[in-house]
């Protein structure tokens, strides 16, 4: 099982860009009846020492076919999420579901996104790490290692880029399932091409507030990572300095080339 430090960069820079799919998904997602259905999550006490055994992962729950009507409804909800969206800011809580459903490798922090292709993902606890998409490059700063890794941001294939361009979405995703559960609309999206080991993504949306509150992401090792969002701000004014980073003196700068147009 991957530990937090190994998860951070992979989930946010690669698979984790799918997190923004929930906030930015627009029309043009291919509808196809796929099989999977969410199960309730425990939200009573989020402290790790008091975590009861949680429900089975949404991504691995008993299957149920999706109707055309439910997929059409989900499409409309996703359109509403993206309409008029130019920026976002939120607090997040990330964890991995263990074999018994308990929350493991808990991380918290803040995230900000600016259309069309910039984001700032800041892990604060238990280990600080900063990941920034500048529009041209991905910057990954690890204070403990005193290292800054720089990777090119491939805007031709990055989900961040295409999600602001609805005409391109069909090339990358399809809408696979939809179900009401635990007070949320759960929508399943599938990458049409391999997406950094991501099999599927479930988006938990509060239809009354029009907010994405949870994401379940299943990787190719059948591990489920969950993101929960709070204090969500839609279209806040974001300072341009959020998407810029000058490394402190003495930091080792490493330039890396992603495999297969990762970003």
Check pLDDT > 50 for residue 18: no
Pick the CATH number of 4-37+55-255 from 2.102.10.10, 1.20.120.450, 3.60.15.10, 2.50.20.10: 2.50.20.10
Is residue 195's pLDDT more than 90?
no
DSSP symbols for 54-122: PPPPGGGSPP-BPPHHHHHHHHHHHHHHHTT--EEEEEEEEEEE-TTS-EEEEEEEEEEEETTTEEEEE
Looking at residue 246, its pLDDT comes to 94
Q: State whether residue 171 is helix, strand or coil.
A: helix
Who has greater pLDDT, 119 or 61?
A: 119
pLDDT band, very low/low/confident/very high, at 46 (cuts 50, 70, 90): very low
pLDDT digits (tens, 9 = 90+) for 217-227: 888 888 899 99
Q: For residue 52, what pLDDT is reported?
A: 37
Rounded-to-integer distance, Cα 235 and Cα 237, Å: 7
Say what the pLDDT of residue 158 is. Answer: 52
| Alpha helix segments (H runs only) across the chain | 4-9, 19-24, 68-82, 159-162
95, pLDDT greater than 90 = yes
pTM score: 0.75
Q: Is the pLDDT assigned to residue 135 strictly greater than 60?
A: yes
β 30-31/173-181 pair status: parallel
Least confident of 14-23, 117-126, 236-245: 14-23
- In what helix (H) or strand (E) does residue 217 lie, and over which residues does it extend? strand 211-219
Domain boundaries, the chain: 4-37+55-255
pLDDT at residue 1 in the model: 42
Query: Residues with Cβ < 8 Å from 95, sequence gap 6 or more?
Result: 103, 104, 105, 106, 107, 225, 226
pLDDT at 66 over 80: no
For residue range 30-39, list pLDDT tens digits in order: 444 333 334 4
């Amino acid at each position: 099982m991957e530990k937090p430090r190994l998860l951070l960069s992979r989930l946010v820079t690669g698979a984790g860009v799918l997190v923004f799919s929930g906030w930015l998904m627009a029309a043009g997602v291919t509808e196809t009846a796929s099989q999977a259905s969410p199960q309730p999550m425990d939200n009573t006490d989020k402290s790790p020492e008091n975590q009861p055994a949680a429900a089975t992962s949404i991504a691995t729950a008993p299957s149920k076919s999706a109707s055309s009507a439910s997929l059409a409804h989900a499409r409309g909800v996703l359109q509403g999420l993206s309409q008029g969206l130019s920026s976002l800011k939120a607090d997040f809580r990330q964890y991995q579901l263990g074999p018994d459903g308990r929350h493991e490798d808990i991380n918290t922090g803040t995230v900000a996104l600016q259309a069309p292709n910039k984001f700032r993902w800041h892990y604060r606890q238990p280990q600080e790490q900063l990941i920034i998409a500048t529009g041209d490059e991905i910057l990954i700063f690890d204070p403990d290692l005193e290292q800054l890794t720089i990777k090119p941001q491939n805007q031709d294939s990055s989900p961040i880029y295409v999600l602001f361009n609805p005409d391109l979405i069909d090339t990358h995703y399809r809408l696979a399932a939809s179900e009401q559960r635990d007070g949320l609309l759960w929508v399943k999206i599938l990458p049409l091409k391999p997406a950094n080991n991501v099999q599927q993504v479930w988006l938990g949306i509060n239809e009354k507030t029009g907010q994405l509150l949870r994401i379940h992401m299943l990787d190719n090792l059948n591990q489920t990572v969950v993101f929960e969002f709070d204090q969500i701000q839609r279209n806040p004014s974001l300072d341009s300095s959020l998407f810029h980073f000058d490394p402190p003196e003495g930091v080792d700068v490493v330039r890396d080339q992603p495999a297969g147009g990762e970003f």
